[in-house]
Structure 1
Amino acid sequence: MVAIRAWAVHVLTACGAALALMALIFATGGQWEAMFFCLGFALIVDGVDGPLAREFKVAEVLPRWSGETLDLVVDFVTYVFVPAFAIAASGLMPEFLTIPAGVIVVISGAIYFADRKMKTDDNYFRGFPAVWNLAAFYLYVLQPPEWVGFAGVVALAVLSFAPVKFLHPLRVRHWRWLNVALLALWAVLAFVALISGMLPGPWVTVPLCLIALYFFLAGFFGRPA
């Protein structure tokens, strides 16, 4: 029973890869809302599998199978690879820069995921944490001028390797209650944006941007990473 429970956690984590495949299939058909729904479910899976793994002591029960490696593999395809395709295929950047934008995302994301010190001792991310799924979501919702979109991709890629902190909303203790509340509100607003065809209007986009700004800047007020 203990082993079955541990395997169930690994299978749950691996389901993130299945969600990434579904997201990519939807993306190739231009069904962007469905793609982001799949990536959203993958976010939920990523949020619950770690606590379950620690609760059920999966690493001790199944020492041969690395949950950390499995998690990194799944996170790369859901946080980086599929979003890179969505960014490259968005049509929201100068045409000759769409493929370079996708390449920048996958290369910077791959190197970031290989960093053994991507997290600080107080559970902040060191550098932009390669959450390109969220960057792609904002690109589609805000639809900024083409050059602004490309500049944003370059800026985030550079910030991946900057010695600054980025907030982990669930694991950082400081103001955790506020972080979790804002994360929940963000999820509701993001859902509204998706069911609105990615054109929800300012009453959704403005609070989405304010929440993103909070999470983006919160780590800058900590000590250097």
Structure 2
Amino acid sequence: MIALFFAADGHFAAMFAWLGVALVIDAVDGALARRFRVVETAPFIDGVALDLVVDFLNYVVTPLVALWRSGVMEPAVAVAVCAGVCACSALYFADRRMKTADYWFRGFPALWNVVVFYLLVLRPPALVTLAVVVAAAALMFAPIVFVHPLRVKRLRAVTIVVTMIWGASAIMAVAQDLATAVFGVKAALVATGCYFLALPFFREGGAIAEGEVDG
């Protein structure tokens, strides 16, 4: 909610700082829940449903508010695009085929916090921004995979190192107020982003085969 308030006020570096805190929490909450046997101690709470609610706020709603408030698209276009992306993301979150049996994401995993972060750091022209957002929304329903940086075994050691480099670069970009970040930081973000986009080609079968997804 703090990140959402900062997004609404146009303080995007502060918003991403708080989303970073939420990302760290998201990385450890499952392990903590298992450690303290939450399924046994609070069986009336559905942890999966709770996780989806929190993720939808952090990964979809808050960054879309930032996209709307940032001025990277015309206001009327931004409203329509954000509404469409929110609806598509809701369908993606409700899809039981979201992950494959080997823990890849089926389609683009609605990480709009990452997409909007890149758009606010790189500040491409409005038409390019629109094309990126529309393409990412379409890719949520495409028969391709995207890596989970911690759970996918393929090239896991390399991926973790690249993820750490990405995280350090992202922190520096936030500290340098996003679009004003130095060239080296932006170059590191682009390079690591290209690694994640290319990684599915190193999986055995980059596309999703029929019946492959984990029910």
Q: TM-score, normalised by structure 1?
A: 0.88
Partner of residue 24, structure 1: 4
Letter in 2 for 1:44: V
Structure with bigger RCO (C-alpha 8 Å, 6+ apart): 2
Q: Which residue of 2 aligns with 1:206?
A: 187
Gaps of 5+ in 1: 1-20
Aligned to 2:20: 40
1:173-188 mapped onto 2 (5 Å cutoff): 173-188=153-168
Of residues 78, 93, 96 in structure 2, which corresponds to 1:98?
A: 78
1:111 to 85, 91, 106: 91
2:50 maps to 70
Deviation digits for residues 52-93 of structure 1 (CA, Å, limit 9, x no counterpart): 223333223322111111000000000001111111111011
The question of 1:133 aligning with 2:113 is answered yes
Say whether the 8 Å CA contact 1:166–1:217 is kept in structure 2: no
Shift of residue 28, structure 1, vs aligned partner = 1.8
CA RMSD across the alignment: 1.2
Tell me what 2:197 maps to: 216
Deviations 1:134-189 (A, max 9, x none): 11100100000000001100000000000101000000011111111111111111
Report the equivalent of 1:160.
140
Whole-Å separation in 2 of the counterparts to 1:108 and 1:221: 28
1:117 Cα deviation (Å)? 1.0
- Tell me the equivalent position of 1:3: none
8 Å CA contact retained: 1:104, 1:154 = no
Unmatched tracts of structure 2, length 5 or more = 209-215
State the partner residue of 1:193: 173
- How far, CA to CA, are the matches of 2:85 and 2:163 in structure 1? 24
Structure 1 distance, partners of 2:76, 2:58, is 25
Q: 2:123 pairs with 137, 140, 143, which one?
A: 143
Q: Distance in 1 between matches of 2:79 and 2:130?
A: 11
Cα distance in 1, alignment partners of residues 39 and 196 from structure 2:
31
- Judged with a 3 Å threshold, the aligned counterparts in structure 2 of structure 1 residues 81 and 72 are, in CA distance, closer, same or farther, namely same
Match of 1:14?
Answer: none
Tell whether the 8 Å contact from 1:105 to 1:132 is kept in structure 2 after alignment.
no
**Structure 1: distance between partners of 2:158 and 2:35:** 25
Which amino acid counterpart does residue 172 of structure 1 have in structure 2?
V
- The number of residues matched between the two structures is 205
Match of 1:51 in 2: 31
Runs of 4+ in 1 over 3 A off after TM superposition: none
Look up the SS of the partner of 1:89 in the other structure.
helix
- Structure 1 residue 201: Cα displacement: 2.1
CA distance in 1, matches of 2:85, 2:98: 17
2:107–2:141 CA contact under 8 A, matched in 1: yes
Instruction: State the distance in 2 between where 1:67 and 1:218 align.
Output: 30
Query: 2-side partners of 1:60 and 1:110: how far apart?
Result: 29
Aligned residues: percent identity? 44
Q: Contact conserved, 2:10 with 2:66, CA < 8 A, in 1?
A: no
Residue matched to 2:212: none
Give 3-state SS (helix, strand or coil) of 1:168's partner: coil
